[in-house]
Structure 1
Amino acid sequence: MKGYNPKEWFKVIFLIQKSDTLIKLGPFMLIIFIYSLGIAWLEMDYLKIGENSWVQNIPIMHSLLSFVISLLLVFRTNTAYDRWWEGRKLWGQLVNTSRNLALKLAGILDNSDEESRKFFRRTIPIYAFALKEHLQSKVTLYMLDDKEDEEIKPEIDPEKHVPNQVAKLLFAKVNDLYKARQITGDQLIVLNQELMSFTDICGACERIKNTPIPYSYSSFIKKFILAYIATLPLGYVFSLGYYAAPIVTFIFYVLASLELIAEEIEEPFGTDENDLPMGKLSENIQKHVEELI
């Protein structure tokens, strides 16, 4: 995720980033511009359509449909942002859950039990990194290349659901401590609430990732924008002449940019500039857990 200062207007407006919609839409904008010029030449110079032609009434249709397309795009962007924000809240919950678990373990575990402290110090952050890689559809054993993790690595099968396996290791370790009477039943219940939260967060993130916006809805908006833009120069040539070309191109840029932005943020767990900084959040979890335990 790219950080920026929203108060720096000049930089935000004039600095073009790799993720800027202007770069992505550049070729399409050129096509729309040439198309609009062609329509203007065809109607004004070749066919010489008069101002009394029914064609000049086409803008009435655009006036009626402008409200509809505005509602569709507002709903589209709001839905996409809700998915992005829900993903951010879930990862914030993961940070808090990891901290709370580390805090409780730091108070419950005996100071002399360095083995258990070392296990949780390494395994709790591994869950965050494993969830990140899982949501990005990568098969990895991140953080398990360290010699300190030799006891954990054999228990993880990268071909299976890695976050679930890490959560299983955490619960098994807590259960072993209970059986060894190093923690009480009440403490087990307290720790169990935090352990359950890991799987709840993972499931909620998977729901966002595996449930995209319905194809028919996304397809309809794209077709609607294309039809709306394709018919714009037909009627506005009579009032704008060749100036209709840059104006139609700009309208296309605005409408298509909203759709592109919605497409990008509706999947918050990717690697684009506007996606969630899961790597940074995972590193923060690792740092905080190591400080606590």
Structure 2
Amino acid sequence: MIQYNPKDWLTFIFRFHESDTFRQLMPMMLLIGAYAGGIAYLELEYWKLADSSHVKNLSLIHTTVGFVLSLLLAYRTNTAYDRWWEGRKAWGALVNNSRNLAIKFSAFLSDDADKQFFQKIIPTYADVLSKHLMNVEVSQMLFEGLDLEIDHHEHHPNQIAQRLFQKTNALYTAGKLTGEQFFILNDELKSFTEVCGVCERIKNTPIPYSYSAFIKKFIFFYVMTLPFGFVFSLGYYVIPVVVFIFYVLASLELIAEEIEDPFGTDTNDLPTPKLAANIKKHVEELL
């Protein structure tokens, strides 16, 4: 995830980051510019259409349709950001609940071996969940020092959560935790699986295909028909104008595509490995 100063305007305006949409759209922008130039040449030099031509009225359609397109893109971007922010809130809850669970275990347990077990397994859940969401294979090195084996054919986070609950229940059965303490720990224990469910819902439920495909087609045909009407009033200046309009519309769609799945490896995705590392640091301090 990119760290930046939101008040540094010059950096935003004049610096092109590797993930900037301008770089990604450059080939398409060149093609659109060449296409707009070709339409301008045909209408002005080859066909020599008069100002009274009905083709000039196409600009009226673009004015009306452009408003509808702006609403669709605004809804598309807001929906994608809502998914990104919901994922961030879920991981924020995981950070807080991991800390709370570590604090409670540090107060309830007196055996150092038991504390050491939870010192390792609580951060392990966050690390495994991060890799699970990124479709990365879980390494056995994660479980060094734990009496823990992972079946790679089954759900990885669930296995960690199950082992965490089993150990807590064993402490209760052995009399190391009272019934009241076990009840107090229950909220944090079940929250791990709830966070996992929220993240999986976001990851496994993309924006409906028909909706996303319609917006892309809408942008394409809107931009492709722009030169026909605007060439009468702009002449060859229609080339940079059409390229700029395409850049704005396509950039909004690209941004929405990138942030709608916040658990990938894109530049603007959530830094889940860093959050998992912070959880490990804080839990080790507490236990």
User: What TM-score, normalized to structure 1?
Assistant: 0.96
Once the 2 structures are TM-superposed, how far is the Cα of residue 143 of structure 1 from its aligned partner? Answer: 4.6
Q: Indicate whether 1:18 and 2:12 are aligned.
A: no
Structure 1 residue 200 and structure 2 residue 201: aligned? Answer: no
Match of 1:227 in 2: 221
Name the % identity.
59
- Counterpart in the other structure of 1:116: 114
- The match for 2:178 is 184
Q: Distance in 2 between matches of 1:228 and 1:85?
A: 31
Q: List per-residue Cα deviations over 1:109-158 (Å, max 9, x = no partner).
A: 01xx1111111000000000000000011221365263x23x12xx2112
Mapped to 1, the partners of 2:202 and 2:267 lie a distance apart of 19
Deviations along 1:55-110, whole A, 9 cap, x unmatched? 00100000111110010000000000000000000000000010000000000001
Aligned length: 287
Alpha carbons 2:99, 2:283 under 8 Å: kept? yes
Instruction: Report the AA paired with residue 37 of structure 2.
Output: L
Indicate which of 206, 216, 232 corresponds to 1:212. 206
Matched, 1:276 2:270: yes
**Contact 2:124–2:143 (CA<8 Å) still a contact in 1?**
no
Code of the residue aligned with 1:218 in structure 2: it is S
Partner of 2:142, secondary structure, is coil
1:233-285 superposed Cα distances (whole Å, 9 cap, x missing partner)? 00000000000011000000000000000000000000111000101100100
Residue 33 of structure 1 aligns with which residue? 33
Pairing of 1:140-159 with structure 2 (within 5 A): 140-141=138-139, 143-144=141-142, 146=144, 148-149=145-146, 151-152=147-148, 155-159=149-153
Q: Deviations over 1:206-251 (max 9, x none)?
A: 0000000000000000000001000000000000000001100000
**Are the equivalent residues in 2 in contact too, given 1:130–1:142 (CA < 8 A)?**
no
Distance change in 2, residues 1:198/1:145 (3 Å): closer
Q: Does the CA contact (< 8 Å) of 1:130 and 1:141 recur in 2? A: no
Q: Aligned to 1:144, what secondary structure does the other structure show?
A: helix
Question: CA shift at 1:159, angstroms?
Answer: 2.5
What residue ranges of structure 2 are gaps of 5+ in the alignment?
none
* Partner Cα separation in structure 2 for residue 143 and residue 222 of structure 1: 44
Q: d(CA) in 1 for partners of 2:90 and 2:135? A: 18
Moved more, 39-48 or 10-19: 10-19
Aligned to 1:130: 128
For residues 252-263 of structure 1, the aligned pairs below 5 Å read: 252-263=246-257
Aligned to 2:48: 48
- 136-145 vs 96-105, greater mean Cα deviation: 136-145
Residue aligned with 1:272, SS: coil
CA contact (8 A) 2:150 2:156 kept: yes
Consecutive unaligned residues of structure 1, counting only runs of 5 or more, are: none
Q: Give the secondary-structure state (helix, strand or coil) at the position aligned to 2:139.
A: coil
TM-score (norm 2): 0.98
Say if 1:291 and 1:3 are closer, same or farther in 2 by CA, change over 3 A: same
CA distance in 1, matches of 2:205, 2:284: 35
Partners of 1:108 and 1:183 within 8 A in 2 = yes
Compute the RMSD of aligned alpha carbons.
0.9
What secondary structure sits across from 2:246 in the alignment?
helix
